[in-house]
Amino acid sequence: MYLYTSVVVVFNLLLFMSVRCVARLRKCEPLLFVRDLDSEDTHVKEKPSKELSNLLSNNVTEKYKEKFKVYVSNTGPAVIGSEIDFLAELYTEIVDIDKKHFLYHWMNDADDSEKLETTNNYRSNISSYIFDSELILPNKYKMKVCVYKRHKENFVIIGENHTMFELTATLNGRSHIHQNLTFNSTSLDIFSTNRVIQYSVNLTDKFHSAPPYWFHLFVDGQRVETKENVNFFDFIHNSTGMIQVKVQVVMESFGTEGKLQGNWSRSIYLEDEVQKVNIVSDSKIITGNPVKFNITFDGSDVRICWRIVDLDNNTAHNRSCDGPLSSGWFLTPGVVLPPGQYIADVVVTNDVSSVNHRSGINVVYNGGGSGTSSPLVVPIVFSMLGMVVLLSGAAYIVRLRKKKDVEVADFDFHPEIQSTGFRIFQMIRGSISDMFQRNEYVRRHRRAKYHQTLARSYGSLEDSNEVL
């Protein structure tokens, strides 16, 4: 109970201080200024009288306010004790030649300081401002600027504006996560497995002299790597699913605060890329039958878009997209096509990759015989030729076996003329050899008919005359 009461008291005190600081930012009113000739500084001499203020406000101020617009910005958020910049820019449609008489009055509700600055142009900036008071707490504060222009012996208001800036207790910066991919989806939090991911943190807090920084990388709560004064990490994650990546930055020995640190975390989702795509289909389709493609793939939750084109790349069937699919294969619906040659054009994509694949040519032909020959034609033709040769050989052997054997004078029969029982190829070889020997026998006997010899026949006429 005591702790709760203390927290409430502190909160009310902070709220009161904030309201009080805001209340102390006074309004922009016409002021009298005097210039110190030695230092050329301009400071407030006194406020004009109420009558003069009303006169300046009514007759001059409103006229200038219509001509000038003021824009104020800052480089926050910034950690308490670091440097922060403020910038005021004055815009007008008609450029004022006498621009040396612009004066900017800065005031804020963080440390209640005020600053007057004269300038020669339409810009005024406060560079490297440091809020290092121990009374300043992390919060959002207001920086206000009043812009004046010289009018005779007085300065009149020509514009005013403010900017909200934030002072923090931790380091400030911007984190960036990146991966080199050939294909990127619209989602910024989906990355690929097995590829390098770079996570970097660019600190925005500025210090005049800062000690070393230590950068720590955590993946799913486990510290992976630590670097000194190096603001980026390269890492690879092999598993799919959601992971949390965190970078912690620690700055050692900062003033009386000891250490300053900042934390940046990012939840990202990892998917497997598509590496292989294959298309299986019938190479020949009879006209009237549907054409189907079995598409196999790898990768996480792919989307398949396919179409059928002819050889001139003209679309024969409009592109169709199906997905997301994660089963590893996809069978397209049947598509009936007219006779011709076609190609299946398939694109498989997911959040981290895209692969394009084309199938071979598919010939669609009529069942009556038009189209290319079947691959079975050549084996069938050669089989039929072999059967014809065998039948011819068998017929020739049968014919030879029906003829009578011819005896010669020396009763020398051919050794191949033997009983049956040999294999068919031995019979063919013997028949061919016998044919050549028979042809030689006939040739010799044809010549013997015309050959004259001295031998005489028994009982010839010459023999009878000699006896007598």
Domain residue extents for the chain: 17-168, 173-271, 277-365, 404-468
What pLDDT is stored for residue 196 in this prediction? 96
Task: pLDDT band for 4, please (50, 70, 90 cuts).
Answer: very low
Mean pLDDT of 128-149: 90
Type and span of the H or E element at 286: strand 284-286
- Give yes or no on whether 17-168 and 173-271 have one common fold: yes
Q: Which of 27, 25, 31, 26 is nearest to 148 (CA)?
A: 31
What pLDDT is stored for residue 155 in this prediction? 74
pLDDT per residue as tens digits for the range 276-329 = 999 988 878 888 888 888 999 999 889 999 988 888 888 888 778 888 888 899
The amino acid occupying position 282 is: D
Cα–Cα distances (Å) from 127 to 5, 144, 203, 206, 233, in that order, read 41, 15, 18, 11, 32
What pLDDT is stored for residue 170 in this prediction? 93
Query: Is pLDDT of 103 > 50?
Result: yes
pLDDT per residue as tens digits for the range 314-364 = 888 877 888 888 889 998 888 888 888 888 899 999 999 999 998 877 788
- What is 173-271's CATH number? 2.60.40.10
Cα–Cα distances (Å) from 417 to 155, 308, 451, in that order, read 146, 71, 30
* CATH architecture observed for domain 277-365: Sandwich (2.60)
Its pTM surpasses 0.85:
no
Mean pLDDT of 234-256: 89
Task: Say how many residues make up the chain.
Answer: 468
Mean pLDDT of 193-197: 95
Task: pLDDT band for 16, please (50, 70, 90 cuts).
Answer: very low
Residue in this structure with the two tokens 């934030």, named with its chain if needed: 166
What pLDDT is stored for residue 30 in this prediction? 65
Q: Cα dihedral sign for 375, 378, 383, 388?
A: positive
Q: Which of 20-24, 106-110, 247-251 has the lowest mean pLDDT?
A: 20-24
Which tokens go with 8? 């409430």
Task: pLDDT band for 75, please (50, 70, 90 cuts).
Answer: very high
Domain 17-168 adopts which CATH fold?
Immunoglobulin-like (2.60.40)
